[in-house]
Amino acid sequence: MTPAAPLFRSSGDLIADRRYAFARDFAARGDIAAAADLYAQAVEVAPGFVSAWFGLGEARARLGQTAEAIAAFQKAVALDPQDAHGAGLHLVRLGAAPPGAMPADYVRTLFDQYAPRFDTALTEGLSYRAPDLLLTAVGTKRFTSALDLGCGTGLGGAAFRPHVDRLTGVDLSANMVAQAEAKGLYDRLVVADLVAFLAAEAAASYDLVFAADVFAYFPDLRPLCGACARVLGPGGTFAFTVETHAGDGATLGPSLRYSHGAAHVREALSGFRLLALEPASSRTEAGAPVPGLVAVAERR
């Protein structure tokens, strides 16, 4: 996806905000050293300016000034523990923090920003095909009740709707859900954290759960897969895509998305009978296919 506009929260100081704006302009033109200097001036004027601390961390990291970047990102997290900017993810990338769950405020803000142009960005810009890969892997049999986990704007729902009697979608981003609702594909749509939603659903209430390009926002798939097993009836189908790498665990890539090794996926599906785990790329980045896997499993 083309990067969304960076999250901006005013410092309340006109001079600091102007220096921040100048810094973003220099960064966009590739003058990272000048951008870093202006971000530093902004936080000197307004020490509580979260957006400028985050920008300073990005600039220092691009300049190879790792210790300074870590300090700036740590300051951003300290000022905003909910971490809507995602500074904590940069700390993971820089080796200053262990992999952990993505901040809900960060994911929500990211996709609330993307929602109006999400479909075009994925289908035209990234050759996105996760829903088609899942539908092919699952087959075109009929399902009574299906859950689109992380439904976004409804691209997955559009693929599966002809094969489902009742379709539910859930997503953390209200703006994404609004886009999905406008398409008229779902019988039920919910704005919620995925794990919390699954915990509140009745056991054995679905015979299909699918997740198209969603698990890149979770470092450990085991709790999520376990929660999906609970809401599936015996023999129910679970299908999802992941980005992958040659190792075993989860790694956070430059795009701030987690990729998962095949061994981790198999372990996460220990409560299922694995039907298929095949290499397939669901999207491109910088014109190249992103390595991925398509998993299909059956509830024991």
Say which residue the tokens 């890969």 belong to. Answer: 133
Say if CB 261 and CB 244 are below 8 A apart.
yes
Residue 111 has pLDDT above 90, yes or no: yes
The pLDDT, as a whole number, for residue 95 is 94
Q: What is the pLDDT of residues 43-60, one digit of tens each?
A: 999 999 999 999 999 999
Structural domains in the chain plus CATH codes: 14-98 (1.25.40.10), 116-299 (3.40.50.150)
Residue 265 has pLDDT above 70, yes or no: yes
Burial classification of residue 246, based on how many CB atoms lie within 10 Å of its CB (0-12 exposed, 13-18 middle, 19 or more buried): exposed
Distance (Å, rounded) from C-alpha 112 to C-alpha 153? 11
Number of helices (H), then strands (E), in the chain: 13, 11
Give the pair of three-digit tokens for residue 219.
Answer: 């470092």
The pLDDT, as a whole number, for residue 286 is 86
Q: What is the pLDDT of residues 204-246, one digit of tens each?
A: 999 999 999 999 999 999 999 999 999 999 999 999 999 999 9
How confident is the model over 61-67, as a mean pLDDT? 98
Count of alpha carbons within 13 angstroms of residue 195, beta-carbon side: 13
Alpha helices in the chain (DSSP H): 14-28, 32-45, 50-62, 66-79, 87-93, 104-114, 118-120, 130-138, 155-160, 174-182, 194-200, 222-231, 262-268
The pLDDT, as a whole number, for residue 4 is 53
Beta bridge partners of 167: 146
Q: Say which residues have a Cβ less than 8 Å from residue 260's Cβ, sequence separation at least 6.
A: 215, 221, 242, 243, 244, 245, 249, 250, 293
How confident is the model over 102-110, as a mean pLDDT? 94
SS3 category, 270 = coil
Residue 3 has pLDDT above 80, yes or no: no
Residue 38 has pLDDT above 90, yes or no: yes
Q: Taking the mean position of all CA atoms in its chain, how far away is CA 262?
A: 19
Q: Which of these ranges, 30-39, 75-84, 207-216, 280-289, has the smallest mean pLDDT?
A: 280-289
Closest by Cα among 108, 79, 83 to 97? 83
The pLDDT, as a whole number, for residue 2 is 42
How confident is the model over 48-76, as a mean pLDDT? 98
With vertex at residue 126, the alpha carbon angle to CA 139 and CA 104, rounded to the nearest 5 degrees, is 85
The chain-wide mean pLDDT, for the chain, equals 95
How confident is the model over 133-158, as a mean pLDDT? 96
How confident is the model over 121-147, as a mean pLDDT? 93
The pLDDT, as a whole number, for residue 123 is 85
Please give the DSSP secondary-structure letter assigned to residue 140: S
Distance (Å, rounded) from C-alpha 269 to C-alpha 165? 26
Percent of the chain with pLDDT over 70: 98
The pLDDT, as a whole number, for residue 1 is 45
pTM of the model: 0.92
